[in-house]
Structure 1
């Protein structure tokens, strides 16, 4: 009896029939009954607008490309050659030269404009002053006679040699008359000579080309 009680106490430790899950029979008839027993769903009580479902359109599938490296799809950066750097430097230099040229042209244009303005003003002032200056010139000419140049020559006769200052455009007729009165003879008997050539009463020192210091000889014709 004691052995039976000890076996009853150890039975729960080794008998797992009590803890096995119940077996659910899979019968189609029972499934139909269960479907009929499902109560109908209640209508929605919310006031959210019903959005109609969009109709499916024929969408072509997009081919998927496998990319191993994430950076492979980026194009490589452009290589800047030394020629490009040179062209950039040349462009900047040309731009500076162009700006300098434009600045010089503007300065030159301004200088020319100032010069033209000065010339115009001077011409206007000359035009205004020209009548007055011309009147002054004419008055000076009328008031002051023109100066006649003179020449210093020597006259040699039998008795003496005398220096005489005469006008270069004055005729020798005066000298003929002066010596005729001095010698008390006719004017036709007086003979004047220069460098061995006879002098006419109508000639002048300029005609003979005489200079300061030249000498005239006086002779009297014998009767």
Structure 2
């Protein structure tokens, strides 16, 4: 039968259709050097998953949400501030040291002045004392003395005294001795009553002249 021997023409002629270039998934992956892995929950640096090259250069992929990729802040400012603070502290310490040194120097000068003033006062005091002693010694050496015989009812006693001393000393001595009033003691010279305010010089007395002592009844 013709129908059996004759080949049937296909309804669609596939020879006229140009085939598309097939895509090989394995080859397509080779065209990419790195694959970026992004984790929306954690920030981290993405690492390359391939070692292939793209145009002869390696591409570094970073996660833009991570701040670690930023360069650290410059340390010059902090170092400069630290240097300024240190310089300010050192300056204050130097000023304090200068103040203390000036105070110590002033105290030293003041102490020196006080010591010199005290030494000068002591020297002047000693000099005045020496001068006073010398004057008294000279005065005493220049003052003449006399030996007076004092005669009372018990007998005669000799007393050495300065010629300018008053007889009141004799009166006080006798009043204390016999426990009586000063007004009860009466002195006499050459038979005449004399006052206790007189002196051997005022009476022109000489050595061994006699002063009589009498006690009046109260």
TM-score, reference length from structure 2 = 0.37
TM-score, reference length from structure 1 = 0.36
